[in-house]
Amino acid sequence: MDIKTELEIKKMEKAGELLASILSELCTLCVPGISTKQLDEIAENLVLDNNALPTFKGYHGYPATICSSVNDVIIHGIPTSAKLKSGDILSIDMGLTLEGWIADSALTIPIGKVSAEAMKLIEVTQTSLYRGLELAKPGFRLFDISRAIQNYVEDNGYSVVRDFVGHGVGRNLHEDPSIPNFIPPLTSIYRNIKLKPGMTLAIEPMVNQGTHDVKIMKDRWTVRTRDNKLSAHFEHSIAICKDKTVILTHRKDDKINREL
């Protein structure tokens, strides 16, 4: 587990701020009639124009800058030329590398006018992330984050994806520890890890309207809900410091303070 120095966290803050600004700009473009391929091209240009690199592109062969997951796609949706329609929900997951440091963040966006059921799923997923972040402080355990997310999601009648989890982040996109969004089994080596200053983590609940079961499509990337019901996804990269936790990818529209 890689513990970051204060200087390294400052560098990650720069990456996080850039990613947050790009995601905020993409949100304004998420309207009926635009394609996820267009959004991907815009995202890549914004990254490169700011002397950063798209972390996802080429990662294990992934072909794009963003993951664009529509409706029943949970994660890793590959951008296409299909146009978004009013009533869709779109999850954008994106990472960038700035001066060797990575930021990773995701959010789900309603396209046009969506159903009340879809909006509730989005709101519950975002709030579940906040519930987990509130416990991402020195002295708490990874278990506490996982439990807070799972309890909030299930209390609202939804399910937490088991097959994919959060992770450490820094010079590498995926670092230790793994961070489940559900209470890990007693045998998990990560269950009782205590949080301490210098940890940089990506917390990312993926929440399904129906079953938590998933199916991976033939492209070996796209992950859908097994029952074809909707899914939402929110993620923030954070840094745990001595006297606070900083949300590195905090956006102005977030309903939580940048420093906790």
pLDDT beyond 90 at 191? no
The number of CA neighbours under 13 Å toward the Cβ of 74 is 29
- pLDDT tens per residue across span 135-189: 999 999 999 999 999 999 999 999 999 999 999 999 999 999 999 999 987 777 7
Q: What is the pLDDT of residue 176?
A: 95
List b or e across 86-115, with b for residues whose CB sees 16 or more CB atoms inside 10 angstroms.
Answer: eebbbbbbbbbbbeebbbbbbbbbbbeebe
Are the CB atoms for 200 and 168 separated by under 8 Å? yes
- The total of structural domains in the chain comes to 1
Are the CB atoms for 65 and 57 separated by under 8 Å? yes
C-alpha to C-alpha distance for 88 and 86, rounded to whole angstroms: 6
Q: How confident is the model at residue 106 (pLDDT cuts 50, 70, 90)?
A: very high
Q: 260 lies in a domain?
A: no
Residue 63 sits in a domain whose CATH number is: 3.90.230.10
- pLDDT tens per residue across span 200-214: 999 999 999 999 999
- List C-alpha distances in Å: 21 to 98, 190, 218, 249, 250: 14, 32, 33, 9, 9
User: Average pLDDT, stretch 223-251?
Assistant: 98
Which are the contacts of 90, defined by CB distance < 8 A and separation ≥ 6? Answer: 30, 36, 68, 69, 70, 84, 108, 109, 111
- Among the listed residues 141, 148, 252, the one whose alpha carbon sits nearest the alpha carbon of residue 201: 141
Q: What is the pLDDT of residue 1?
A: 83
- List C-alpha distances in Å: 216 to 75, 79, 80, 222: 10, 16, 17, 6
C-alpha to C-alpha distance for 215 and 218, rounded to whole angstroms: 10
Q: What is the pLDDT of residue 192?
A: 84
Tokens found for residue 260: 């906790």
User: Average pLDDT, stretch 241-254?
Assistant: 97
List b or e across 56-85, with b for residues whose CB sees 16 or more CB atoms inside 10 angstroms.
Answer: bbeeeeeebbbbbbbbbbbbbbbbeeeebe
For 28, the domain range is 6-247
Q: 36 lies in a domain?
A: yes
C-alpha to C-alpha distance for 202 and 106, rounded to whole angstroms: 10
The SS3 assignment for 152 reads helix
What residues does 216 pair with on adjacent strands?
A: 223
Q: 232 lies in a domain?
A: yes
Q: 258 lies in a domain?
A: no
- pLDDT tens per residue across span 67-105: 999 999 999 999 999 999 999 999 999 999 999 999 999
Q: 117 lies in a domain?
A: yes
Number of H helices, E strands in the chain: 4, 15
Q: 255 lies in a domain?
A: no
**Mean pLDDT score across all residues of the chain:** 97
Which are the contacts of 89, defined by CB distance < 8 A and separation ≥ 6? Answer: 70, 71, 108, 109, 110, 111, 114, 118, 121, 122, 230, 232
Q: 1 lies in a domain?
A: no
Q: 254 lies in a domain?
A: no
pLDDT beyond 90 at 62? yes
pLDDT beyond 90 at 190? no
